[in-house]
């Protein structure tokens, strides 16, 4: 009975998230579109269409020109290194998807989910602020790198600015396509590789900040979901609260919390030391086995995360949100860096590989189509298997 109630609560929560997100988006885009028609925002360089906003910025374009003029030798070195990095990322993208597909087939293979971002379906809405921030930074730096390297190769920039597509923010840089096509093969490869290379480097920077600012050893368990009416909910425990100890025994991770409570029984009183202070709760009826039984008694639901103390000393709430910002930035930056080099249109990897092939084999259209079909089948198979295995990120 308790397990059924938990599953029903989780399903209802997911549906509510999807509905709230969809309604919020519909209201936002309706107001934005009507406002753009009334105020005629086109004269300010702002183009508004249903679910799409484009802002062309001459200031951003001038900034790219100015950046390309400073440290031209450094940009040349970076763009040469970027060709090697991009080639490696392309090889890894294909290897990862092939290896992941094998893991789906093998028993106990431990595959990774490969899914599009669908709020409330493949990613919970409470991750969206961190995710959208990371996506915006990744796309803007990605496009800026394309633009700066294009300028160092003597290719003019026609336009640059920011965009918002449904809920995904980003930027765009449009080099002069004719000048690009007439440039040398090396120049083209430098420009095409620049975006993914900067994503890789910023991803490594985010990882470095995570390692530097936060203790490697965790010191608690972060509660993200509480079951309505359960012991934690009734005690006032909310999302992002941290449990440090149970009955004065430190629990430094989610695993230690589950292990400690594994021997407890429904109706047992336990004292939780939390970021809200000491709280006494009575364990609820149990269902399931192992960790599932523990979470049902607490009235908690996955996902869970370990709490890592930062070296900044600014409190648990700040630590959690900074940690998640850096974690999602690292994840998004590296994911975009690798997947963007997959040889599949419209990713940079497709044009990068075709530029190389055209240089050595001539313009073989059938080969370009074959590579696209192979890559599309590879990523589609991974997505289908992810849904079949229910490897969703809710």
Per residue in 34-90, pLDDT (tens digit) is 888 888 877 777 888 888 888 888 888 899 999 998 888 899 999 999 999 999 999
User: How much is the pLDDT for 367?
Assistant: 82
Is the model's pLDDT at 337 over the cut of 80?
Answer: yes
Phi-psi label, residue 40: left if phi above 0, alpha if psi -120 to 50, beta otherwise: left
Residues 6+ away with beta carbon under 8 Å from 344: 350, 372, 375, 376, 379
User: How much is the pLDDT for 363?
Assistant: 62
User: How much is the pLDDT for 219?
Assistant: 92
Is the model's pLDDT at 3 over the cut of 60?
Answer: no
Give the confidence band of 125 by pLDDT, cuts at 50, 70, 90. confident
């Amino acid at each position: 009975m308790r397990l059924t109630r938990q599953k029903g609560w989780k399903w209802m929560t997911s549906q509510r998230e999807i509905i709230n997100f969809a309604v919020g988006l519909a209201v936002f885009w309706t107001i934005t579109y009507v406002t753009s028609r009334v105020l005629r925002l086109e004269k300010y360089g702002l183009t508004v269409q249903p679910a799409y906003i484009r802002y062309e910025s001459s200031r951003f374009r001038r900034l790219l020109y100015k950046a390309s003029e400073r440290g031209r030798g450094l940009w040349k070195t970076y763009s040469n290194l970027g060709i090697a990095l991009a080639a490696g990322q392309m090889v890894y993208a294909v290897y990862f998807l092939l290896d992941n597909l094998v893991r789906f087939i093998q028993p106990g293979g431990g595959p990774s989910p490969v899914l599009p971002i669908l709020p409330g379906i493949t990613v919970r809405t409470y991750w969206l602020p961190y995710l959208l921030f990371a996506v915006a930074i990744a796309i803007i730096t990605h496009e800026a790198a394309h633009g700066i390297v294009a300028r160092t190769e003597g290719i003019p920039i026609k336009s640059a600015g920011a965009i918002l597509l449904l809920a995904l923010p980003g930027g765009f840089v449009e080099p002069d396509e004719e000048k690009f096509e007439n440039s040398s093969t090396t120049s083209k490869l430098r420009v095409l590789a620049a975006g993914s290379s900067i994503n890789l480097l910023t991803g490594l920077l985010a990882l470095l900040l995570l390692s530097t600012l936060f203790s490697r050893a965790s010191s608690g368990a972060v509660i993200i979901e509480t079951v309505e009416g359960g012991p934690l909910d009734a005690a006032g425990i909310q999302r992002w609260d941290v449990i440090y100890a149970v009955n004065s025994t430190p629990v430094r991770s989610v695993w230690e919390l589950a292990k400690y409570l594994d021997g407890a029984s429904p109706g047992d009183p336990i004292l939780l030391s939390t970021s809200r202070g000491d709280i006494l709760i009575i364990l609820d009826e149990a269902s399931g086995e192992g960790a599932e039984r523990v979470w049902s008694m607490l009235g908690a639901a996955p996902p869970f995360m370990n709490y890592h103390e930062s070296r900044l000393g600014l409190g648990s709430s700040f630590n959690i949100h900074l940690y998640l910002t850096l974690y999602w930035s690292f994840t998004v930056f590296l994911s975009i860096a690798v997947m963007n080099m997959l040889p599949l249109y419209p990713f940079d990897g497709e044009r990068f590989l075709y530029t190389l092939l055209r240089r050595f084999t001539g313009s073989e259209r059938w080969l370009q189509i074959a590579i696209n079909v192979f890559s599309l089948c590879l990523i589609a198979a991974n997505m289908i298997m992810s849904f079949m295995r229910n490897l969703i990120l809710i």
